[in-house]
């Protein structure tokens, strides 16, 4: 679950920029959160999903020291960065090998500052 400051802005990022789909949404006015949006690349029964939650009146969260990043596998990290940049996304680490290794990675950032690692698929 990621706490987000603007639910629609986050949905737009994960769907338009990363190509996920909104799988379902729910709302709980009694506990002051508006919809939970579950986003992913396919059905929850077969894929991992992210839960985006907007808590009323909270526009920003402290990331703390335990959160690192989300990781997504991509066919080509450089192409993904270019596509993300052209769609208005923020690339924070350009494509290249991981320190001390050969795996090709890049990093992007969502509108709330959550880091997303793009890991290039090995052929």
For residue 95, give its domain range: 70-120
Catalytic residue selected from 51, 94, 117, 120: 117
Cβ 107 vs Cβ 119: under 8 Å: no
Instruction: State the average pLDDT over residues 92-96.
Output: 98
If residue 78 lies in a helix (H) or strand (E), which one and from where to where?
Answer: helix 77-86
> Is 73 among the residues known to form the active site?
no
Q: Are residues 20 and 48 in the same domain?
A: yes
Q: Are residues 47 and 88 in the same domain?
A: no
- Torsion on CA atoms 33, 14, 20, 46, rounded to nearest 10: -60
Quick one: DSSP state of residue 9? Answer: H
60 located within any domain: no
Count: domains in the chain: 2
14 located within any domain: yes
Whether 79 has a pLDDT exceeding 80, the answer reads: yes
Q: Is pLDDT larger for residue 120 or for residue 26?
A: 120
Q: Is pLDDT larger for residue 58 or for residue 100?
A: 100
Q: Are residues 84 and 114 in the same domain?
A: yes
64 located within any domain: no
pLDDT classification of 113: cutoffs 50, 70, 90 = very high
pLDDT classification of 63: cutoffs 50, 70, 90 = confident
Give pLDDT, residue 87: 96
Indicate which CATH number applies to the domain containing 74.
3.10.180.10
């Amino acid at each position: 679950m990621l706490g987000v400051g603007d639910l629609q802005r986050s949905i737009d990022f994960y769907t338009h920029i990363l190509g996920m789909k909104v799988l379902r949404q729910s709302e709980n006015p009694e506990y002051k959160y508006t919809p939970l949006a579950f986003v992913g690349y396919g059905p929850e029964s077969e894929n991992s999903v992210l839960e985006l939650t907007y808590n009323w009146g909270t526009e920003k969260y402290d990331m703390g020291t335990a959160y690192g990043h989300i990781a997504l596998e991509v066919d080509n990290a450089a192409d993904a960065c270019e596509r993300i940049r052209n769609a208005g996304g923020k690339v924070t680490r350009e494509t290249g090998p991981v320190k001390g290794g050969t795996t090709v990675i890049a990093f992007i950032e969502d509108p709330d500052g959550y880091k997303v690692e793009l890991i290039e698929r090995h052929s």
